[in-house]
Amino acid sequence: MAQILVVDDQKSLRRSMAITLSRAGHSVDEAASGEEAIRRVDESLYDLVITDLKLPDQDGLAVLEAVKARSTDTEVVIVTAYGSIESAVEAIRQGAHDYLAKPFSHEQILCSVDLALERRRLRTEVRSLARRLEDPNDPSSIIGQSEKLGRVLEIVGEWAASDSTILITGETGVGKDLLARRIKQLSPRAEGAFVVVNCATIPDNIFESELFGHMKGAFSGANRTRKGLAQEADGGTLFLDEVGELPLEIQPQLLRFIETGEIRPIGQNRSMRVDTRVIAATNRDLRAMIKEGRFREDLYYRLNVLPVEIPALRERLEDLPELAGHFLRRFARRFGRPVEAISKKAMLVLKSYEWPGNVRELENVMERAVMLCRGKELRPEHLFMPGSGDLEEASAPTGEGSGVGDPIPLAELERLHILAVLKGLGGNQKRASGVLGISKSTLWRKLKEYGIDASKLASSS
Ligand SMILES: Nc1ncnc2c1ncn2[C@@H]1O[C@H](COP(=O)(O)OP(=O)(O)O)[C@@H](O)[C@H]1O
Ligand SMILES: [Mg+2]
């Protein structure tokens, strides 16, 4: 069953098309004018719009354009009088799927609708396959031609072959994760496991057991023997992400592991050898932490064998246009948006911002911008960064006091994202749930949870 909108000012024809399509199991809305059609398209997501080329107020082509600007996934079939085939052909050039010349039979219209829906289905399928192939962590997609980034990639290319420990530093969002994965892929351990230990999220009290494993009965609650992450990484690479957050009590054990390559699961009385390459990353200033007594100096030297620093985005703005274009294409494809380019002014706005959250922040800004953009060109009004204008709320958390070393809680990001999408859609919850890829009831629950009043957003678009 598909959602179809039939647009024709001639009531008898419109009704008869609607009845034919409803009998075929589709859910059909009707509109008698171009204006009404565009209003309906704003309110609901249609799979297909069938529109007469001649409408009292507007051209059918205008309806086509409005539909495609809202969602490139909606198919359009043009209905035309016998004499005006040329304009129907023009409509196809502009993205319509097919045209029907009046008079047409029930069979003809059903056939055209089936083909249009089939095309739509294929298109979404291709996109979801492409998305599955496109691994966001694919290290081959490290974007940027700046000299600074080039130097980082060059050094890392040389070091990848060795088994020595690499310490990657840099502000949050500069691409430390991505680089670690690239090193693994370039290394002789490319086929081995890549095991991530996120030192910031593992609770202190289970750190040792997470990292080194435990035997059944080693402590209360240990009802099974469990392999530690270090052992999972045997033959591969162990990535110690956010290593600056490592609890002080664990640091001597980690040091011992890196020095000897041996682990001892809790409750086991002999140690075993693990063959793994360690890569660590942090956005902290470890030297300052050593002075404050929060990081062990001996561990620091063990980790800092091959140090590499990824410069902040603001220090290599040459990379920005290419990165922004990369994210634009990715999100346009993902959300089915027609946007293709970034306007000169928008690029200026992007380049004049500080990017405390670096590439990750740029990625988020572009995601939101593409979602809000209805045309082919992304303009400054689609960009929401601190200081860039209207969305005061959304800019607050990356402003004072947060940013580097003080990341925004995930729930806050979710709240802002929902808010931005809703604002962009004039408070329309049905469409927002579609764009966000969650059910209407989930959206409703989240609105309640975050105290967002969608009705207040209706007027702001
Ligand atoms: N040079 C780059 N090219 C493409 N994507 C990048 C690049 N640098 C960072 N990213 C993307 O930005 C986001 C943040 O990168 P990440 O490696 O997680 O940063 P960090 O670990 O330094 O906080 C990720 O989605 C990553 O894929
Ligand atoms: Mg990271």
pLDDT tens for each residue of 338-383: 999 999 999 999 998 899 999 999 999 999 999 888 889 999 989 9
What's the CATH fold of domain 3-133?
A: Rossmann fold (3.40.50)
pLDDT at 135: 62
Which of the four pLDDT bands, split at 50, 70 and 90, describes residue 219? Answer: confident
Report whether pLDDT(100) > 50.
yes
409-461 CATH, one of 3.40.50, 1.10.540, 1.10.10, 2.60.40: 1.10.10
pLDDT at 389: 45
Among protein residues, the one with the nearest Cα to ligand 1's atom 16 is 175
In CATH terms, the superfamily for domain 143-311 is P-loop containing nucleotide triphosphate hydrolases (3.40.50.300)
Q: Relative to the CA of 281, which ligand 1 atom is closest?
A: 21
Q: How far is the CA of 174 from the centre of ligand 1 (A)?
A: 6
Q: Relative to the CA of 137, which ligand 1 atom is closest?
A: 27
Which of the four pLDDT bands, split at 50, 70 and 90, describes residue 220? Answer: confident
Report which of 174, 168, 204, 206 is spatially closest to residue 286, judged by C-alpha positions. Answer: 168
Report whether pLDDT(130) > 80.
no
Q: How far is the CA of 171 from the centre of ligand 2 (A)?
A: 9
pLDDT in tens, 5-35: 999 999 999 999 999 999 999 999 999 999 9
Which residues contact ligand 1 via a Cβ below 6 A? 136, 141-144, 170, 172-178, 323, 359-360, 363
pLDDT at 335: 86
pLDDT at 129: 75
Domains 3-133 and 409-461 in one fold: no
Which residues keep their CB under 5 angstroms from ion ligand 2?
Answer: 176-177
| Percent of the chain's residues with pLDDT above 70 | 91
DSSP type of residue 246: -
Report whether pLDDT(397) > 70.
no
Which of the four pLDDT bands, split at 50, 70 and 90, describes residue 177? Answer: very high
Instruction: Print the SS3 string covering 161-227.
Output: CCCCCEEEECCCCCCHHHHHHHHHHHCCCCCCCEEEEECCCCCHHHHHHHHHEECCCCCCCCCCCEE
Q: Relative to the CA of 362, which ligand 1 atom is closest?
A: 12
3 state SS of 312: coil
Q: Which range has highest mean pLDDT (41-45, 135-139, 324-328)?
A: 324-328
Among protein residues, the one with the nearest Cα to ligand 1's atom 20 is 173
For the chain, give every domain's residue range: 3-133, 143-311, 317-392, 409-461
Which of the four pLDDT bands, split at 50, 70 and 90, describes residue 448? Answer: confident
CATH class of the domain defined by 317-392: mainly alpha
pLDDT at 76: 95
More confident residue, 78 or 428: 78
Which of the four pLDDT bands, split at 50, 70 and 90, describes residue 305? Answer: very high
| Percent of the chain's residues with pLDDT above 90 | 58
DSSP type of residue 85: H
**What residues have CB less than 8 Å from 397, skipping those under 6 apart?**
408, 412, 416
Which of the four pLDDT bands, split at 50, 70 and 90, describes residue 137? Answer: low
Q: How far is the CA of 95 from the centre of ligand 2 (A)?
A: 41
DSSP type of residue 311: P
State the chain's mean pLDDT as an integer. Answer: 87
